[in-house]
Protein backbone atom coordinates (compact mmCIF):
# COMPACT_ATOMS: atom_id res chain seq x y z
CA UNK A 1 0.00 0.00 0.00
CA UNK A 2 1.05 3.59 -0.60
CA UNK A 3 1.59 5.76 2.50
CA UNK A 4 2.39 9.46 2.72
CA UNK A 5 4.57 10.95 5.46
CA UNK A 6 4.21 14.75 5.64
CA UNK A 7 6.08 16.98 8.06
CA UNK A 8 3.92 19.72 9.58
CA UNK A 9 4.06 23.28 8.26
CA UNK A 10 6.41 25.94 9.59
CA UNK A 11 6.13 27.46 13.04
CA UNK A 12 7.81 30.57 14.42
CA UNK A 13 10.26 28.25 16.20
CA UNK A 14 11.12 26.54 12.92
CA UNK A 15 11.85 29.90 11.31
CA UNK A 16 14.26 30.67 14.16
CA UNK A 17 15.80 27.15 13.97
CA UNK A 18 14.76 26.35 17.54
CA UNK A 19 14.42 22.91 19.08
CA UNK A 20 10.63 22.62 19.17
CA UNK A 21 9.61 19.18 20.37
CA UNK A 22 7.21 19.01 23.30
CA UNK A 23 6.19 22.66 22.91
CA UNK A 24 2.65 22.82 21.53
CA UNK A 25 3.33 25.58 19.03
CA UNK A 26 0.89 26.36 16.22
CA UNK A 27 1.73 27.25 12.64
CA UNK A 28 2.98 30.70 11.71
CA UNK A 29 1.44 32.74 8.88
CA UNK A 30 4.20 31.84 6.43
CA UNK A 31 3.74 28.16 7.25
CA UNK A 32 0.01 28.33 6.59
CA UNK A 33 0.53 30.14 3.31
CA UNK A 34 3.10 27.60 2.08
CA UNK A 35 0.73 24.72 2.86
CA UNK A 36 -2.15 26.42 1.05
CA UNK A 37 0.04 26.84 -2.06
CA UNK A 38 1.27 23.24 -2.16
CA UNK A 39 -0.53 20.30 -3.77
CA UNK A 40 -0.85 17.13 -1.70
CA UNK A 41 -2.09 13.67 -2.63
CA UNK A 42 -5.61 12.60 -1.67
CA UNK A 43 -5.52 10.52 1.48
CA UNK A 44 -7.71 8.37 3.67
CA UNK A 45 -7.28 8.00 6.57
CA UNK A 46 -5.24 10.92 7.93
CA UNK A 47 -3.16 10.23 11.03
CA UNK A 48 -1.56 12.97 13.14
CA UNK A 49 0.38 13.76 16.26
CA UNK A 50 -1.70 15.42 19.00
CA UNK A 51 0.33 18.65 18.79
CA UNK A 52 -1.27 21.77 17.28
CA UNK A 53 1.20 22.23 14.44
CA UNK A 54 0.29 18.79 13.06
CA UNK A 55 -3.45 19.18 13.65
CA UNK A 56 -3.45 22.61 11.97
CA UNK A 57 -1.44 21.25 9.03
CA UNK A 58 -3.87 18.35 8.59
CA UNK A 59 -6.82 20.77 8.69
CA UNK A 60 -5.28 22.86 5.88
CA UNK A 61 -4.21 19.92 3.70
CA UNK A 62 -7.20 17.65 4.36
CA UNK A 63 -10.03 19.98 5.48
CA UNK A 64 -12.81 17.40 5.11
CA UNK A 65 -11.03 14.62 6.99
CA UNK A 66 -11.20 13.89 10.70
CA UNK A 67 -7.70 12.80 11.68
CA UNK A 68 -6.85 9.84 13.86
CA UNK A 69 -4.67 11.30 16.62
CA UNK A 70 -1.82 9.06 17.79
CA UNK A 71 -0.08 10.23 20.97
CA UNK A 72 3.04 8.16 20.27
CA UNK A 73 3.73 10.31 17.19
CA UNK A 74 4.63 13.36 19.33
CA UNK A 75 8.02 14.89 18.49
CA UNK A 76 11.04 14.14 20.67
CA UNK A 77 11.15 15.93 24.03
CA UNK A 78 14.25 18.14 23.80
CA UNK A 79 14.29 18.80 27.57
CA UNK A 80 16.57 21.68 28.54
CA UNK A 81 17.21 22.46 24.85
CA UNK A 82 13.48 23.01 24.17
CA UNK A 83 12.82 26.39 22.59
CA UNK A 84 16.50 27.17 22.14
CA UNK A 85 18.63 27.39 19.01
CA UNK A 86 22.33 27.08 18.26
CA UNK A 87 23.04 30.67 19.32
CA UNK A 88 21.41 30.03 22.69
CA UNK A 89 23.22 26.72 23.25
CA UNK A 90 26.66 27.44 21.77
CA UNK A 91 29.24 27.20 24.54
CA UNK A 92 27.07 25.05 26.81
CA UNK A 93 28.85 21.94 28.14
CA UNK A 94 25.63 19.93 28.00
CA UNK A 95 25.09 20.89 24.38
CA UNK A 96 28.68 20.03 23.43
CA UNK A 97 28.36 16.61 25.13
CA UNK A 98 25.17 15.98 23.21
CA UNK A 99 26.84 17.01 19.92
CA UNK A 100 29.87 14.83 20.70
CA UNK A 101 27.57 11.83 21.25
CA UNK A 102 26.31 12.18 17.68
CA UNK A 103 22.87 13.03 19.06
CA UNK A 104 22.60 9.64 20.81
CA UNK A 105 22.80 10.94 24.38
CA UNK A 106 19.54 11.92 26.07
CA UNK A 107 18.65 15.58 25.94
CA UNK A 108 19.18 16.92 29.48
CA UNK A 109 15.76 16.50 31.11
CA UNK A 110 14.33 15.05 27.86
CA UNK A 111 14.30 11.91 25.73
CA UNK A 112 17.16 10.02 24.18
CA UNK A 113 17.05 9.16 20.50
CA UNK A 114 16.68 5.41 21.07
CA UNK A 115 13.69 5.92 23.39
CA UNK A 116 12.06 8.40 21.02
CA UNK A 117 12.46 6.06 18.05
CA UNK A 118 11.18 3.07 20.05
CA UNK A 119 8.09 5.05 21.12
CA UNK A 120 7.42 6.13 17.54
CA UNK A 121 7.83 2.62 16.10
CA UNK A 122 5.61 1.11 18.82
CA UNK A 123 2.86 3.62 17.98
CA UNK A 124 3.16 2.77 14.28
CA UNK A 125 3.00 -0.96 14.94
CA UNK A 126 -0.19 -0.51 16.96
CA UNK A 127 -1.98 1.16 14.05
CA UNK A 128 -0.75 -1.05 11.19
CA UNK A 129 -4.10 -2.90 11.14
CA UNK A 130 -5.88 0.43 10.54
CA UNK A 131 -3.76 1.45 7.54
CA UNK A 132 -5.04 1.38 4.01
CA UNK A 133 -3.74 2.37 0.61
CA UNK A 134 -3.46 6.16 0.64
CA UNK A 135 -2.98 6.74 4.39
CA UNK A 136 -1.35 10.09 5.18
CA UNK A 137 0.68 10.79 8.30
CA UNK A 138 0.87 14.48 9.19
CA UNK A 139 3.55 14.39 11.83
CA UNK A 140 6.91 15.79 12.94
CA UNK A 141 10.22 15.60 11.13
CA UNK A 142 11.65 13.33 13.82
CA UNK A 143 8.66 11.01 13.56
CA UNK A 144 9.13 10.69 9.80
CA UNK A 145 12.87 10.05 10.21
CA UNK A 146 12.36 7.43 12.94
CA UNK A 147 9.80 5.45 10.93
CA UNK A 148 11.70 5.50 7.64
CA UNK A 149 14.99 4.62 9.36
CA UNK A 150 13.29 1.59 10.93
CA UNK A 151 11.24 0.35 7.97
CA UNK A 152 12.86 1.36 4.69
CA UNK A 153 14.99 -1.17 2.86
CA UNK A 154 17.79 -0.82 2.08
CA UNK A 155 18.48 0.79 5.45
CA UNK A 156 19.66 4.38 5.70
CA UNK A 157 20.46 6.59 8.67
CA UNK A 158 17.99 8.72 10.63
CA UNK A 159 19.10 12.08 9.21
CA UNK A 160 19.06 10.78 5.63
CA UNK A 161 15.28 11.21 5.88
CA UNK A 162 15.28 14.87 6.85
CA UNK A 163 12.55 16.81 5.06
CA UNK A 164 11.54 20.45 5.05
CA UNK A 165 8.33 21.65 6.68
CA UNK A 166 5.25 20.85 4.63
CA UNK A 167 7.07 18.18 2.61
CA UNK A 168 7.77 14.50 2.99
CA UNK A 169 7.83 11.13 1.32
CA UNK A 170 5.55 8.74 -0.52
CA UNK A 171 6.37 5.11 0.28
CA UNK A 172 5.20 1.65 -0.60
CA UNK A 173 4.59 -0.43 2.54
CA UNK A 174 4.13 -4.19 2.42
CA UNK A 175 3.26 -4.63 6.09
CA UNK A 176 6.87 -5.14 7.12
CA UNK A 177 9.12 -2.91 5.04
CA UNK A 178 8.90 0.40 3.20
CA UNK A 179 10.43 1.70 0.01
CA UNK A 180 10.51 5.43 -0.70
CA UNK A 181 8.98 6.02 -4.14
CA UNK A 182 8.91 9.81 -4.19
CA UNK A 183 9.19 13.14 -2.41
CA UNK A 184 6.23 15.33 -1.57
Residue spans of the domains in the chain: they are: 2-77+112-183
> What's the rounded mean pLDDT across residues 152-181?
97
Distance in angstroms (rounded) separating the CA atoms of residues 141 and 152: 16
What pLDDT sits at residue 116?
97
103: pLDDT strictly greater than 90: no
> What's the rounded mean pLDDT across residues 114-123?
97
Q: What percent of the chain has pLDDT over 70?
A: 100
pLDDT band at 112 (very low <50, low <70, confident <90, very high): very high
Given a contact cutoff of 8 angstroms between Cβ atoms, the answer to whether 30 and 84 are in contact is: no
pTM: 0.96
> What's the rounded mean pLDDT across residues 78-99?
96
Helical segments of 10-140, H only: 12-15, 29-36, 52-61, 86-89, 93-100, 113-127
> What's the rounded mean pLDDT across residues 16-26?
96
The total number of residues written for the chain in this structure: 184
What pLDDT sits at residue 51?
98
pLDDT band at 74 (very low <50, low <70, confident <90, very high): very high
Given a contact cutoff of 8 angstroms between Cβ atoms, the answer to whether 126 and 46 are in contact is: no
Distance in angstroms (rounded) separating the CA atoms of residues 57 and 8: 6
- Which CATH code fits 2-77+112-183? 3.40.50.1240
Amino acid sequence: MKLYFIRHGKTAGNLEKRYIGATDEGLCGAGRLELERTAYPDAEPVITSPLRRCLETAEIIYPRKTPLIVDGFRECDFGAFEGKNYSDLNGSRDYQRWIDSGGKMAFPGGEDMAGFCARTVAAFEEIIPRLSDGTAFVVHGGTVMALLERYELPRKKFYDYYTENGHGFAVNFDGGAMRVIGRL
